Structure 1
């Protein structure tokens, strides 16, 4: 049975929607999205540390989509565009939720799942140690590869929730939820 993207999307648009987008994740779309997200945070009177956390984690999530999303398979009922991704930023009483989703070639998912599981298994102290080790080890021009998931957990203090849904024999859909309170 193939993944039902519309059903997934309907589940993610709970609470007060600050921003939602589905389509090709391009550098122009990132710039536009971040501006709209800032406007949405202003409209919802989000201030101070929580605003900074939400914004920084949204940036990490969008960067993940930009760098790692694949073209969706023909079996997906979406526009077949490069770097197809979805993002929903919502507020629900005492927390914000950033939900992202994108298609991956199934052969690539095990590495991503291992990264998420590793980050989720770390204590707060271990996250800081691993984060610093990566910063020291990486070339300053590499953009801090490997820091995205660590940074999300470090900034939010919450584990990453993820699900992998098979789409067809070659593709799967990765759903990632990050909670900020």
Structure 2
């Protein structure tokens, strides 16, 4: 096996091991950190390259809130219940070298957008039949009425944040 093939294979296995090792603690957070290895490019081109780190979200479906039976209705209140899904928005940490344009103390510019918690509910459906409950005044037969149909709106809750800054390289 050539040394370049062996080096490429070692770099790939190291990257996979880093991602798998970070997946355990990150599962509690809702995102898996994924480093972007650019050190090899930096060494081969003999120049400082940008540094990048990403966070990939892990989506976790929850248990749907089941239909609720209400007196006066033939069908349950939520015929098609909403499905909750929790996770995180993708995050990124990007830093790039900057020539001394802004002065001697500023060597890099960076953007940090951490993964933020995300809570969603899928759309639901509420239906009611065009019949009422049995009416004793009508010999036990149900009365007719207009059918009812409604869409329960989806929900999306998150608080994203980001920071842009310059400073000395690290």
TM-score, normalising length: structure 2: 0.24
State which structure, 1 or 2, has the greater radius of gyration over its C-alpha atoms: 2
Higher helix proportion: 1
**RCO greater where, 1 or 2, for CA within 8 Å and sep 6 or more?**
1
TM-score, normalising length: structure 1: 0.23
Higher strand proportion: 2
